[in-house]
Structure 1
């Protein structure tokens, strides 16, 4: 490939032959270099890029802000779940645009982004937040390289994530006396009794527990099936507006059934006598209450909709029984006396009472953690615990939900002592 440099006025230019394109010989020329050496260096780089990519790369003039909007529309909306879209957009609007929105995309360098990564650490952000921000930025710049061809290389490729000590998440294991206080405060008849019982006796995630319908529960076999979860999403509005107006009431929202968190989250779980009696009594009470409230009882129907990717979604629509909707009815397990849905938002009131009145550290996930810990302490097979919790990897069960306790330590000592005694006898 032929090429060279030449002086044009006060500056230097480089040029080289691109060969024939559509039967005509083409060449690439670029000027504005102060010295011949600068032009020669740029020439060598341009020829190298041409040889590696088959074309000479011309950086885009698009701003980071405009590019991130484009990436979100072209990639995120068609490919990501709604909740992930919201999370990405919060990072884009809350971190990336304020920092680099006015920059030209081509101005981002590894040095600039490394300094940004280090600053995130210095400002005290948690490791998960830093990784989340940098990962979204890296993914967006990957797309700028391919397929958009705005950049020849992703500058995040050479950025080292700062080392941040992960603060151990507070994982609450309820003592039995604390659990008894909670369930006594929300006894049979409370709209929070059944959600609490399900969490404690099965270890379900909050989105799984509040997504249960009576079709999912087989009282005869004493087992329940997790085949969906609930999510809250705003409808009739772009996700951008959701992020901008978060916390305001201008946007209507609704609850939807969606697929479980992971394929391994779809599972069937056995339960015992205590939960069996509670569910059996709850089902009877719900049938009585429907007769009691009559036409003013709230029922729930399913309206099928399509998400941004064209996938079918199921919106849970509350209606009074007197309206006689033609849509298929769904019978939710977690409801109030009048049939109103008890959602994860509603459950926040229960958590506040436990915090302020009972003075206990608590969130719904602590029921799941307590369930797993009691099983492991009592000698349950870890593989079975993994299945009950719906983990794809057994390491998640061991590292996240199972931790050393005094009961485990004492049991290990007892096992060792018993083993020694047996060896002495033999």
Structure 2
């Protein structure tokens, strides 16, 4: 039964009903009616729908998370930028739907969602986990607004991890660990090894790596020109001007790339019409270009052959920067090589390394003066 009351000069109704998602009693309230009669008319209609199970909350009991997220993307996804839409699609397609898509929208337990978040924190950077959680909650909140759900029970989920600085320190390999990692990479497919080697020896972002074309590599001058980035859907300009850069590479990588280019040519002959012709450097054996999540899988595949802690492709960028700093390069050179907007950005990220070299430089000064 609905109840009614007057608040100020307006009327409101309250209807109590059973939430189909958990069997608990809920209350639907709406105010702003000019007369009690108006409130009674709408309340009677709502009660009728609830009784006949025609209300949207009840009608959507059978809707799967997969179906709602696809509908949400189609309806509301274009309200942000193109890059935001593409990121949402990627996270939903590669993380949310594979793990949670089979649940009914109204019946995913909070505890199961917490387990999903916990598993993500064991594999990905804290910022990635927070982004996925934010996307999930945005879609759930919209489902609440459209009365497909009564409330968002996933708010306040715990995302426990060490602070960002500590995480950045962990997301890299030591010199000894690099040897273990690259030994394991040699046991994998050749293009997997090349991906690992290029990330470690260039410090490129994974988006920059998968956008790289053979014309960007100058084998005579031993340079790589980084002028673009790519995601699952398109190639785009880098976010900042400083990301556009040309870096030097060593003889080892030059030799590996020459072997890899020959490997691609042999595959083209081997697979014939089934080979996907592309100018991209990073491809599958059949010539198909690889996306950012494909790069993640490659690194995970290599790590699975070791006892090393988990790192991301970006962790290999950190590893490269640390190795360059430890080899004696100054922070300005590293900043330019990584494509950072400012030297301060580089110093902030690698402060644990620069502080160590501050101590060494002071010792050198003392030794010189004495």
What is the TM-score normalised by the length of structure 2?
A: 0.56
Flag the 1:77–1:63 CA change in 2: closer, same or farther, 3 A. farther
Deviations 1:199-253 (A, max 9, x none): 2221123443244211222334433233445555xxxxxxxxxxxxxxxxxxxxx
2: CA distance, partners of 1:217 / 1:139: 42
The answer for the alignment partner of 1:307 in structure 2 is: none
Of residues 258, 270, 277 in structure 1, which corresponds to 2:247? Answer: 270
The answer for the alignment partner of 1:166 in structure 2 is: 162
The answer for the alignment partner of 2:38 in structure 1 is: none
The answer for the alignment partner of 1:258 in structure 2 is: 235
Flag the 1:212–1:32 CA change in 2: closer, same or farther, 3 A. closer
Q: Which has the larger radius of gyration?
A: 1
Deviations 1:140-175 (A, max 9, x none): 477689xx7x69xxx88xx76758443754423242
Q: Does 1:415 align with 2:361?
A: yes
How far apart are residue 355 of structure 1 and its match? 5.1
Flag the 1:135–1:379 CA change in 2: closer, same or farther, 3 A. same
1: CA distance, partners of 2:286 / 2:100: 42
1:269 partner SS: strand
What is the TM-score normalised by the length of structure 1?
A: 0.50
How far apart are residue 30 of structure 1 and its match? 4.9
| Aligned residues between the structures | 314
Gapped regions of structure 1 (runs ≥ 5):
1-9, 18-27, 34-41, 49-56, 104-114, 233-255, 300-316, 320-328
> Over aligned residue pairs, what C-alpha RMSD do you find?
5.8
Of residues 331, 343, 357 in structure 2, which corresponds to 1:382? Answer: 331
The answer for the alignment partner of 1:309 in structure 2 is: none
How far apart are residue 391 of structure 1 and its match? 4.7
Q: Does 1:101 align with 2:106?
A: yes
Flag the 1:76–1:283 CA change in 2: closer, same or farther, 3 A. same
Paired residues of 1:385 and 1:397 also in contact (CA < 8 A): yes
Paired residues of 2:213 and 2:280 also in contact (CA < 8 A): yes
The answer for the alignment partner of 2:217 in structure 1 is: 217
Larger mean CA deviation between 82-91 and 365-374 belongs to 82-91
Deviations 1:331-378 (A, max 9, x none): 333468x8745857599678756753x766676555323211012234
